[in-house]
Structure 1
Amino acid sequence: MKMSRRGRALGALLAAGTALTMMAPASPATAAASNTWSDKSAPLATPWTAEVSPTNALPDYPRPQLARPSAAKPTWQSLNGLWEYEPSDGYTAPRFGKRLSGQILVPFPAESALSGVMEHSDFMLYRRTVEVPKSYRTGQKHLRLNFGAVNYAATVWVNGTRVAQHTGGYEAFGVDITSALRKTGLQEIVVGVASPVDSEDIPVGKQRLDPSGIFYTAASGIWQSVWLEPVAATSLDSFTATPNSDRKSFTVSSTINGPSKNAKITVKAYAGSKQVASVSGAASAKLKLAVTKPHLWTPDDPFLYTFKVTLKRGKSVDKVESYAGLRTIGLKEVNGKQRIVLNGKPTFLLATLDQGYWPDGIYTAPTDEALKFDIAKTKDLGFNTIRKHIKVEPARWYYWADKLGMMVWQDQPALPTGRNDRLTSSDKANLRSETSRMVDQLKGVTSIIGWVPFNEGWGQWSVQAAADLGDQVKKQDPTRLVDSRSGLNCCDTPGDPGNGDVIDYHQYQGPALPAPDAKRASIDGEHGGLTLSVPGHLWPTASINPYGAVKDAAELNDKYVANNDDLRDLGAKNGLSGGVYTQITDVEGEQNGFFTYDRQVEKVDEARVRASNLSVIAAGSEAQPAPPAGTPGLGGVAHWTLDEGQGTTAKDTVGSNDLTVRNGGTWVDGPTAGAGTALHLTGDQFADTEKTVVLTRGTNYSVSAWARLDSAGGAFQTVVSEDGDTNSAFFLQYSGADQRWAFSFTGARALASEEGKPETGRWYHLVGVRDTTTSTLKIYVDGKLAGTTSVLATADTATGVLAVGRGKFGGNPVDYLDGSVDDVKVFDRALSADEVAQLDQAGAE
């Protein structure tokens, strides 16, 4: 395809850099920026909107894990506040020493109300002057200019000298500007930004130039804090304390700015005010720091060690303070199933989906207290984990997760959707690079327990791509879990990459209940999404309902708890290691949060939700319950021979659950000549009982029948099922999608793959077996095992009648049989392979 001028310029910048950040636009820049910061009002105001002003824009120290010289008294100069600003035409060089036409409040993105601009521009210029304190320039000190994040490509000039270029909208970067400083007076800083958002194939998460539905307003330009910091000639660029598998020590490592030859580092660890460990060595080495009486970090006890670090090289001395928690995360076989373990103990990771959007600041929380709020309320609601959904947050967000005790699944921001088949080799390489840089930047964050490279196949060009990127991340960070592809059962490029540490399904409302395999644990990566709109607290776009509407708060609470009961009883108790509920707050057009988008209204009963959530987490540490033994023998708990040969009633020869033939079924010869009749069904004909025959929740069962198809096309046909509230609890069926016999739950199907397509007019003996102990569905055809799939359970529990010749889906009767059925049996236990063979032999005689 032909690339736009903007695309070619951006590609050149990504590959080699240019003298200007501004690049030729596809069309001229539109509106000019406002000259007054305060003339914009947010469509929705949060409790913190009014606290923001040019004099207190996010004044907190932005990098808690590398505070110089200490967290209590860092030496730094915030550059947050009003900057000059104007959109650019994309190719005109900056005019150094000249004022720009408008203003913007940094660090709020240009599209936000708090920025004072509230408009998108593909290209933009920022300018401000600053007086550098004399103390920052004494002796051998150097001065660094730091950016938390700029979306997307930035070029930085100081006093007309280009000092830095950076691409990537989610990474922090900094530069030594000492050589560009004037000796006295004001220093001029100019930043040029290109922000194509989803007009190019770059990582953007859920940002869109034309937001709607599950995609939201873009966040362009400077969107995290900017600051100056004096440093030594040789200084620490990063410091990481990685917990070791013994849970008694850390491995500490660092990277250096400036000359590093012969540099030495000393690290002292403190538990409160007490020193508990010390180590010294070459600054380039990885050093082991063993602590006395180790105190582990958990969500219930988020204990953090403080590190005081000194870097020396000749006369250069750099001192910083950092912190980390001592914890491990991994997998362990528990009761025969792979489970996620925190500090070696099975721990259910119960999470909310957290997208990090704000109606006033878009990508940027209005205050530090607001940034903390979502995490604290997630904790109050009883969750122990957050899935940070396709966005990277400022360092202070992770500090609060560490400090408050919240585990985090960290997503890689996704490429735009719908373009998997057009991605170039450079697009793919850039995604891999940005993923690597994200992991490198966040590798010291205690709360992050796992990485998610791809979500639902967005920007995933093949199944193998997810496997490759998952392997890349695992090699880079073997100490955390890797979820190579969240939602492998949907949506773009579906399929299991087969690697990583978890099997992750999405299901709305769900929960999804995938089973672990021999090497991977299983989680529900997304479910829920119950939708309740609150008038007066809605973003000015139409509410969408892709999940499930509820009429009021009472129904929201009831349905959430019922959904959680399934997650607990069918998932956590049976080997599921985590669940992610969508979501903590409404976001723009989505109204499925526990809180409204403006954080003004809590929609749920917090105490009730908390109690329910804690019960799910507790269940994840319990032993799997054993199913009831069931009725012995091959008589079953219900048996319909279908030998009546006439009428509309088929006798249950074992129990009291007679079948009633509906809509005019007929009687034909059975599989064995002269041995009785069978029931022939076509159109909307079927037979059913008056009540539920076999329990399906948390128990084993089996269903057998002889079946013959008159047609075998692309339509599903049900031989035997049992109704749930919305869907059948199980289907013994012909799968039209696969053109094979199957035994199925909604979302899980054991296919008779090796049997080939069923022949019309031929009788087959089918047996479906549900075994909760092994978490399997099995389909037997003519006495032989023909297919198996692993699934912990289905939330569709039998509450209604048993039906022969139809199923139920979405609350409606579906999948009518076009053919004949005979000798139907139901068992309240899992039949063995030998028993299935005996059934088959008995029916053939």
Structure 2
Amino acid sequence: MRFVGAVTSVLLASTACAASTSRYFNRQFSNSTGYQLQKGPLDTDWTSKVGTNPWPEYPRPRLARSNWKNLNGVWQYQNASAGEVASPPINRTLSESILVPFCIESALSGTVPLSPVPVSKLTISGIMRKWAIYSWYRTTFEVPSDWDASNRVYLNFGAVDYETTVWVNGKNATYHRGGYWEFGVDVTDYLHANGPNELIVWVYDPTDTGDNQIPLGKQSLAQDHIFYTPCSGIWQTVWLESAPADYISQLDISADMNGKVNVTVLNGGNSSVPVEVTVHKKDSTDVKATGKGTSGSTFQFTVDSPDLWSPDDPNLYNLTIKLGSDIVQSYTGFRTIEKGRVDGVLRFILNGEPIFPFGTLDQGFWPDGIYLAPTYEALTYDIKILKDIGYNMLRKHIKAEPPLFYYAADTMGLLLIQDMPSLRTRVPKPGDTCGDTIPVRDAAVQAEFDRQLEILIQQHRNYPSIFAWVIYNEGWGQPDQPPWADVRLTDVVRSLDPTRLIDSVTGWYDHGAGDFQDNHHYAQPQCGTPFYSINSSPFNPDEDRIGFQGEFGGNGNNVSIDHLWNDPWPLDHINQTYELDKDIETWNYRAHYILSELIDQVDRFACSGAVWTQTTDVEGEVNGMMTYDRRIIRAQYDQWNDDIDKLQDTFKGRTEKESSRMMPRADGWMGME
């Protein structure tokens, strides 16, 4: 894979609910830093390649600066308790070492396990740090001497789960809440003129303790079959940047199939400053177009006859953005996603042509890094395998990824449905694999969910690969009383991003909002069909919504212990998988049969897209295209390629005869004339 030209140089310029008792494994790596990679329940082929300088790539390709310094590596760490935030350990050595940026609970973090916690406290299974509710991090850094002394120095965090307080040289520099979102702070005034600077980070991550309800997705301290090991602490890259006082603090760019580019640049200095955007073709210095405006106001310009972005041809353009003396590199893809009626059926329309998005449910978990892939190579491996099988899409399931994940999808050509991480949905009980479903606790919880949903949109709306947003999954954290939150939040998301579609409710508790009528059913599909399961709303083809299979499949295949998450709890609950097949040959046979039903529904009914469960196994789930360690690919390529080709050919046969009559409507959607 080749990187986008202008961004490349920056990227490469790197300086059930009751749980079992824990089982501990010998450590397998150590060095002079004190860091020790631990041997977890399962590793991958990339685990041993991480070393002590992880994730050296520039972490934010959509807004990249040349003067930056990576702070990833071995930091000091110490488990803490409530109330310690009032007394940060300034100029004090902490008791352990940890590898940043991996979850405290992961083998790659290298943290030493605590003593086993009683089962009555519903600990997670696994062997790494348990109940990392309060934590201290500490490191030192120096600012490069060749940075412009008239510039400011900004400290950036890719993501920290969940609440973060930061001190620089003993001064409280910033506070942030939310486990999936990047944040930064100007630390210039806290820095020493010469010598090292001390950086201390306090992290509070309640996960699902007590009555806490925060956006956490599949994380749980009480692991069961579909809720996994949590991620606490610094789990994405930490870095410094040099930029002037007037600097590009936020960049929003969208580019459509007609070459129209919409740009909004925010100035961290809060003044209105001229902005210039220069567009280059990928791997070329030839200027395609230049747009000019001012910070704080949206402006437009046009690129003539752009090469369009699609999964088959993921064409990207490099961007150079100037605000005063601040210069950043970015990129975009020209594409338009809409919905429109083709032969009387609502379809997804990409660049004026009907498209059938078919992909996997992608959990984004790793046995060695938990929430973070061990390396960029590992991250791109999953996308490559999905593309090789024949998928053109994945649904990023109630988790947000590091920016480099979306960059990979943009460059490699994979459509994305992006979920909002869900609120906690249950109160687990000892010995009870389900627990009690809980409502949204109060108005403050809902307001915080709303706030973080807006952050999700704001930080991800630049990626061409994302074509739809999901607000709620299967009622998890979805208020069950009117006025319906999904209806209200659909309007909020539409106002923040009118260029994409919205799947307001995937699965059930559907109140008619958004662009999808989304069914979940295992193992057989019910995609745009006149029949439906008890949890799903009946499909009405006359509504202005698309018939979609948000989850189906889910058939599993157990494998040898060498490829399983080797911990008693998940091993004992593998039989909760929707369907278990004797061997890989049977798994592929069943997949072929299930896909034949989907193909028939595409031919007969209003099925317009589908999501197969899932990309990989995760802990006790064994229904992935690959095992959790990515060492076994279950899918027989020839069979899957043929079945997916037949699926797409069937869809094309239903749509191509009428697509030439599709015309744009005044409201921006496609329709029949």
What interval of TM-score do these two structures reach, taking the shorter chain for normalisation? 0.7 to 0.9
Which ranges of structure 2 fall in alignment gaps of 5 or more residues? 1-23, 112-127, 427-436, 529-538, 658-673
Q: Does 1:248 align with 2:259?
A: yes
Aligned to 1:731: none
Which ranges of structure 1 fall in alignment gaps of 5 or more residues? 1-30, 69-73, 489-493, 627-845
Cα shift at 1:544: 3.6
What is the number of equivalent residue pairs in this alignment? 576
Aligned to 1:258: 269
Map 1:272-283 to 2 at 5 A. 272=282, 273=284, 274-283=286-295
Q: Does 1:392 align with 2:400?
A: yes
Aligned-partner residue type, residue 43 of structure 1: P
Q: Does 1:110 align with 2:70?
A: no
Deviation string for 1:430-459 (max 9, x for gaps)? 111110110000010110000000000000
**Segment of structure 1 superposing worse, 98-107 or 507-516:** 507-516
Q: Identity across aligned pairs (percent)?
A: 40
Q: Contact between 2:342 and 2:655, CA under 8 Å: does it hold in 1? A: no
Q: Which of 63, 73, 87 does residue 66 from structure 1 map onto?
A: 63
SS at match of 1:135: coil
Distance 1:432 1:228 in 2: 30
Q: Does 1:86 align with 2:78?
A: yes
Q: Contact between 1:155 and 1:165, CA under 8 Å: does it hold in 2? A: yes
Q: Which of 508, 512, 524 does residue 522 from structure 2 map onto?
A: 508
Cα shift at 1:224: 0.3
Deviation string for 1:112-150 (max 9, x for gaps)? 0000012031100000011111122x3421000000000
Q: Does 1:189 align with 2:199?
A: yes
Q: Does 1:537 align with 2:529?
A: no
Aligned-partner residue type, residue 48 of structure 1: W
Aligned to 1:360: 368
Cα shift at 1:614: 2.5
Evaluate the alpha carbon distance shift between residue 96 and residue 384 of structure 1 in structure 2; reply closer, same or farther with a 3 A threshold.
same
Q: Does 1:421 align with 2:421?
A: no
Cα shift at 1:423: 1.5
Q: Please tell me the root mean square deviation across aligned C-alpha atoms, in Å.
A: 1.8
SS at match of 1:114: helix
Q: Contact between 2:555 and 2:623, CA under 8 Å: does it hold in 1? A: yes
Distance 2:47 2:269 in 1: 41
Aligned to 1:472: 492
Aligned to 1:753: none
Aligned to 1:670: none
Map 1:560-639 to 2 at 5 A. 560-571=591-602, 574-623=605-654
Q: Contact between 1:573 and 1:625, CA under 8 Å: does it hold in 2? A: no
Q: Which of 490, 503, 516 does residue 483 from structure 1 map onto?
A: 503
Aligned to 1:49: 47
SS at match of 2:476: coil
Cα shift at 1:622: 2.2
SS at match of 1:38: coil
Aligned to 1:152: 162
Deviation string for 1:613-641 (max 9, x for gaps)? 12212322222799xxxxxxxxxxxxxxx
Q: Contact between 2:76 and 2:95, CA under 8 Å: does it hold in 1? A: yes
Cα shift at 1:39: 5.0
Deviation string for 1:733-792 (max 9, x for gaps)? xxxxxxxxxxxxxxxxxxxxxxxxxxxxxxxxxxxxxxxxxxxxxxxxxxxxxxxxxxxx
Q: Which of 280, 286, 295 does residue 270 from structure 1 map onto?
A: 280
Distance 2:603 2:404 in 1: 32
Cα shift at 1:521: 0.9
Aligned to 2:215: 203
Q: Contact between 1:474 and 1:500, CA under 8 Å: does it hold in 2? A: no
Q: Contact between 1:219 and 1:363, CA under 8 Å: does it hold in 2? A: yes
Q: Contact between 1:423 and 1:461, CA under 8 Å: does it hold in 2? A: no
Q: Which of 298, 301, 318 does residue 286 from structure 1 map onto?
A: 298
Aligned to 2:140: 129
Cα shift at 1:604: 1.9
Aligned-partner residue type, residue 84 of structure 1: Q
Q: Contact between 1:573 and 1:620, CA under 8 Å: does it hold in 2? A: no
Q: Which of 519, 525, 550 does residue 544 from structure 2 map onto?
A: 519
SS at match of 2:108: coil
Aligned to 1:378: 386
Aligned to 1:329: 337
Q: Which of 553, 571, 583 does residue 528 from structure 1 map onto?
A: 553
Q: Contact between 2:104 and 2:129, CA under 8 Å: does it hold in 1? A: yes
SS at match of 2:250: strand
Q: Contact between 1:439 and 1:473, CA under 8 Å: does it hold in 2? A: yes
Distance 2:422 2:155 in 1: 28
Higher RCO (Cα < 8 Å, 6 or more apart): 2
Distance 1:590 1:407 in 2: 25
Deviation string for 1:66-96 (max 9, x for gaps)? 111xxxxx32111100000001112121120
Q: Contact between 1:504 and 1:525, CA under 8 Å: does it hold in 2? A: yes
Distance 1:279 1:39 in 2: 49
Q: Contact between 1:544 and 1:591, CA under 8 Å: does it hold in 2? A: no
Distance 2:516 2:89 in 1: 53
**Segment of structure 1 superposing worse, 454-463 or 499-508:** 454-463
Distance 1:188 1:167 in 2: 22
Aligned to 2:153: 143
Q: Contact between 1:352 and 1:583, CA under 8 Å: does it hold in 2? A: yes
Aligned to 1:695: none
Q: Contact between 2:61 and 2:330, CA under 8 Å: does it hold in 1? A: yes
Evaluate the alpha carbon distance shift between residue 572 and residue 170 of structure 1 in structure 2; reply closer, same or farther with a 3 A threshold.
farther
- Give the greater-gyration-radius structure (CA): 1
Cα shift at 1:422: 4.8
Cα shift at 1:342: 0.8
Deviation string for 1:532-575 (max 9, x for gaps)? 01102111222243311111111111111111111112125633
**Segment of structure 1 superposing worse, 537-546 or 302-311:** 537-546
Q: Contact between 2:577 and 2:623, CA under 8 Å: does it hold in 1? A: no
**Segment of structure 1 superposing worse, 376-385 or 535-544:** 535-544
Q: Contact between 1:572 and 1:617, CA under 8 Å: does it hold in 2? A: no
SS at match of 1:444: coil
Q: Contact between 2:59 and 2:403, CA under 8 Å: does it hold in 1? A: yes
**Segment of structure 1 superposing worse, 606-615 or 428-437:** 606-615
Cα shift at 1:611: 2.1
Q: Does 1:432 align with 2:450?
A: yes
Deviation string for 1:584-634 (max 9, x for gaps)? 1000010000100000111121222122112212322222799xxxxxxxx
Q: Which of 90, 93, 111 does residue 96 from structure 1 map onto?
A: 90
Aligned-partner residue type, residue 136 of structure 2: L
Aligned-partner residue type, residue 59 of structure 1: P
Evaluate the alpha carbon distance shift between residue 544 and residue 36 of structure 1 in structure 2; reply closer, same or farther with a 3 A threshold.
farther
Distance 2:404 2:479 in 1: 33
Q: Contact between 1:572 and 1:578, CA under 8 Å: does it hold in 2? A: no
Cα shift at 1:45: 1.3
Q: Which of 236, 242, 253 does residue 230 from structure 1 map onto?
A: 242
Cα shift at 1:406: 0.3
Aligned to 1:180: 190
Deviation string for 1:285-324 (max 9, x for gaps)? 2121211222110000000011111111xxxx00111001
Aligned-partner residue type, residue 41 of structure 2: P
